A = this chain, B = another copy of it.
Amino acid sequence: METPQETAHGYSANKDALLKRLRRIEGQIRGIARMVEEDTYCIDVLTQVSAVNAALHKVSLNLVEDHIGHCVVGAAEESQRTGDPSIVDHKVKEASAAIGRLLR
């Protein structure tokens, strides 16, 4: 795990867009809570939960693409520079484990 300030990350270039998406998802969750408080029909609540799943899906995919394009590719270049393949191997394993958790 890297300390926050040390390195800019793949998502740094899209930070504002990512924060905007997260705020919107936060609002959607509050909206679902209101529906539950107002005893709204279960199917309509479930429809909104699916919408949040889809929004989170996009956030995850952007983070994965940014991570591969920035961190994995950066590590590949560093492995090439230093002749140490373990640098990129570690990043690939990390990315694969993160994708595995998302696929669950």
Contact = CB atoms under 8 A, between A and B. Distances in A.
Contacts of A86: none
Contacts of A7: 41
A68 B101 CA distance: 17
Given A63-B49, A69-B89, A29 B25 contact: yes
A65 interface: yes
Nearest to A14: B36
A94 B65 CA distance: 10
Contacts of A73: 72-73, 76, 79, 88, 92
A77 to B, nearest CB: 5
A64 B99 contact: yes
10 contacts: A22-B33, A22-B36, A23-B33, A46-B60, A50-B102, A61-B96, A64-B99, A65-B92, A69-B88, A69-B89
In the A-B complex, the 3 residue pairs with the closest CB atoms: A76-B76, A65-B96, A50-B101
